[in-house]
Amino acid sequence: METIKKYLLLSAVALAFVSCSDSDDNPAANNVTLEFNNTFKNTTIVLGDAASASATTNTSVAGQVHHFSEVKYVISNIRLIKDDGTEVPYNVNDLDKGATVIDQAKAESLSYVLSNVPSATYKQIKFGLGIKTEQNTLDQVRFPKFYAAAGANDTAMMWEWGTGYRFTKVEGFYDTDNKAMSIHTGSTVEGTEGAYTQGVNAYRDITLNLTTNAVVGSKAPKIKIKADFDKLLSGATNTITLSTGTGMSDNATPNVHTAAQMVKFVDNLGGNGSSDITGMFSVTSVEN
């Protein structure tokens, strides 16, 4: 009897220690920070107006020099993939908790902290550029936080006429005479399944391999993601020459919404979903 008591006591003490060490050194979950670096090739973009001397310029494959005054895009539907292949979704059905607007003009928006990510070793990250059609309804009641963030006057990531969000918004200037360029993308899908549907789905699912595994546990890793806007005009899918005007093929202003033109930019930035599933994105490093 005495021996049994001793064993019991011992195991109780042991258990206590195990749980202690769990919470102290190897927590069940921790943060993961996604740090976005918006670049032209390897140079971080500096924004500027038409006459800016400090703005970062880039030259497209077609030979058009350009620079930006505004760069914004929406990231949603984030999933981390464990080394065993298990997918861990991060608030994928909640735009308030799982989606964000990356805005080059707001430094704090470039780091997006995923909180309470289960402790594990992760080898891959997936996310959406834009918002899936079923969530892209400007539902202010369901997602008040994201609605407010996207709709703020200095964000302007809403597409009122389509009652959806803008997925990317790039404003800038091109050619030596600094003509305005204004590239907005977003989905125009309408209709319910089984019935007539119309429109273009501008959401793109991105899959990126991590350079080294991100180990979530006692430490909160940081994943550095490069978004290379050189791809906007010189992408894997399309080589685009900008032109200004009101014709069907003119593409430098928001009539890129003639979504035939818009899709070319979407495929360059977010991939075409088949041969290109990274678009302009790549992981440059993981800090564990």
Q: Which residues bind another protein (CB under 8 A)?
A: 138-141, 144, 147, 151, 158, 160-163, 182, 188, 190-191, 195-196, 198-200, 246, 248, 253-255, 257-260, 262-263
DSSP characters for 250-263?
A: --SSGGGGSTHHHH
Q: 55 or 263, CB closer to another protein?
A: 263
Helix ranges, the chain (H): 2-25, 95-98, 144-151, 260-270
Shortest approach of another protein to residue 247 CB, angstroms? 8
Shortest approach of another protein to residue 223 CB, angstroms? 33
Q: 170 or 263, CB closer to another protein?
A: 263
Q: 60 or 201, CB closer to another protein?
A: 201
Q: 89 or 144, CB closer to another protein?
A: 144
Phi/psi at 264 (nearest 5 deg)? Answer: -60, -40
Shortest approach of another protein to residue 169 CB, angstroms? 13
Q: 77 or 188, CB closer to another protein?
A: 188
Shortest approach of another protein to residue 221 CB, angstroms? 38
Place of tokens 């909640």: 94
Structure tokens at 84: 């065993």
Shortest approach of another protein to residue 252 CB, angstroms? 9
Shortest approach of another protein to residue 133 CB, angstroms? 13
For 80-100, give one letter per residue: b (16+ CB within 10 A) or e. Answer: bbbeeeeeeebbbeebeebbb
Q: 85 or 194, CB closer to another protein?
A: 194
Structure tokens at 192: 């319910």
Tell me the pairing of strands 65-82 and 120-129: antiparallel
CA-to-CA distance for 78 and 250, rounded, in angstroms? 34
- Cα distances (Å, whole numbers) of residue 37 to 46, 56, 78, 110, 150: 11, 14, 17, 7, 20
